[in-house]
Every structure is written in structure tokens, then in C-alpha cells.
Chains A and B, each alone.
Chain A
Amino acid sequence: GDSVTQTEGLVTLTEGLPVMLNCTYQTIYSNPFLFWYVQHLNESPRLLLKSFTDNKRTEHQGFHATLHKSSSSFHLQKSSAQLSDSALYYCALSARNYQLIWGSGTKLIIKP
């Protein structure tokens, strides 16, 4: 069945360093949609960015991700981490039945 893997449960970085959160997926569907949701402490998840176009960079609020169907990846990146980026990040996949398949989440902690 469809699945999403986020290998890092916790990522701790110093402010100003680049961020990369990994997301890989499995599906036999040829046109998946991939999403990144962000959840700050004591808040609910909200969409950060999404994509369905192969090899096209998608950007929002300083973050970017590129869907690579050849490697089944949709890694989230940012050039310079800010303290306010500390949050829980979920990668999610929407395939044939339109239901979202969620990764287990990556907690990002940015330290001064």
C-alpha cells in the first residue's frame, strides 16, 4: 500500500544554518500529490506547501521542496533556519483514493 517515510524524528539545528527534512514515499499511482504540513506548539497542523509536478520547485514562507518522482522524494528545505521555524513537520501523500497518507512527523528545534 501507499506509505510515507520521514526518517528523522527529531532534528536540532542552530539558528542560521540550512534546514533539510527528509520525506520519501511509496505508491504505484503515477500522479501523486505531496504535501508538507507544519504544526507549531499548541496549534493545529496547517498546510505549508504542496506539489504534484515532477522536478518543479515549490516555495512558501521561505521553505521550498521539489517533487522528484524518480527517487520518490519530497524533501523540505530552507536556506537559513529561524527560531520561529521550531515546530512539528509532517509530510503527506495523496494518491488514488484521495485520502492523505501521513508520515510520522519530524520535530524541528532551532537553537540560538
Chain B
Amino acid sequence: EAAVTQSPRNKVAVTGGKVTLSCNQTNNHNNMYWYRQDTGHGLRLIHYSYGAGSTEKGDIPDGYKASRPSQENFSLILELATPSQTSVYFCASGRTASQNTLYFGAGTRLSVL
């Protein structure tokens, strides 16, 4: 079974503070993704990566940065957190192929106060 680990699992941040969400995968998958999930909006893609050193903007990248320093690690950075970024964030990994299955981490529940 593919393994994707997210940290922290829960985070409370203050408005204007910096938040870093981390994701590690041991599947040797090329592709990694960051999604947020909000009631009524489903899964929305924030950033993704095709491999170490690459990051691409997803559908809702504003207010977020991403970093892929290695095949295994993919971070999501909120430089100036806002209450509208309160959400559940999921990291996922997958092979580079049209039929690829995505494997999700357990999620990070972020509250920005």
C-alpha cells in the first residue's frame, strides 16, 4: 500500500502568520498534489509537481506557494495566512500516467484565527 504522510495533522495559526504544511511519500511517485477540501466545494487543486524541483499552479493557487525539494517531499506554504484559508488540506501522490491512481495522506486540519 502506498504511503503518504502529512504533518502536522492539526494546526491553529494566527492571521498574518506563516504556515508550512509538509508531505512525504515513500512510493517513488513522480507526481504530487496539494488539495483543499471545503464543504460545498469538493476537492480543489492548489499546486502540483511533476518531480523534484518542479511546481505548477493548480486551480486556486493564490495565497499559496509550494516547494518540491526532493522526490519524496512536497510542502505547501502560506506566507500570510488568512481566515479564508481555514480548511482541510490533503496531499496526494501518483505515477505519471493518465490512469494513475492518487494516494492521499490523512489530511491536515488548519484553522486560521
Question: Chain A residue with minimal CB distance to B48?
Answer: A99
Residues in A neighbouring B41, C-beta threshold 8 A? 104
Interface residues in B, total, Cβ within 8 A:
19
Q: A98 contacts which chain B residues (CB < 8 A)?
A: 31, 96-98, 100
Q: How large is the interface on A (under 10, 10 to 19, 20 to 34, 35 or more residues)?
A: 20 to 34
Chain A residues with CB under 8 Å of B31's CB are 98
CB pair B42–A102 under 8 Å, yes or no, is yes
B-side binding surface: helix, strand, loop or mixed? loop
Q: A90-B43, A99-B48 are in contact. Are A52 and B99 (CB under 8 A)?
A: yes
Residue A44 interfacial (CB < 8 Å)? yes
Interchain CA distance A88-B45 in the complex, whole Å = 18
B52 interfacial contact with A, CB 8 Å: no
A37 to B42, CA, bound (A): 12
B107 lies within 8 A of A44 (CB): yes
Interface string of A88-112 (1 = CB under 8 A from B): 0010001100111011110000000
B34 part of interface (Cβ distance < 8 Å):
no
A90 nearest CB across to chain B (Å): 7
State whether A90 touches B90 (Cβ < 8 A).
no
* Chain B 96-110 residues near chain A, CB threshold 8 A: 96-107
Nearest chain B residue, comparing its CB with the CB of A51 = B99
Among residues of B, the one whose C-beta sits closest to the C-beta of A37 is: B102
A46 part of interface (Cβ distance < 8 Å) = yes
**Chain B contacts to A: CB under 8 angstroms:** 31, 41-43, 45, 48, 90, 96-107
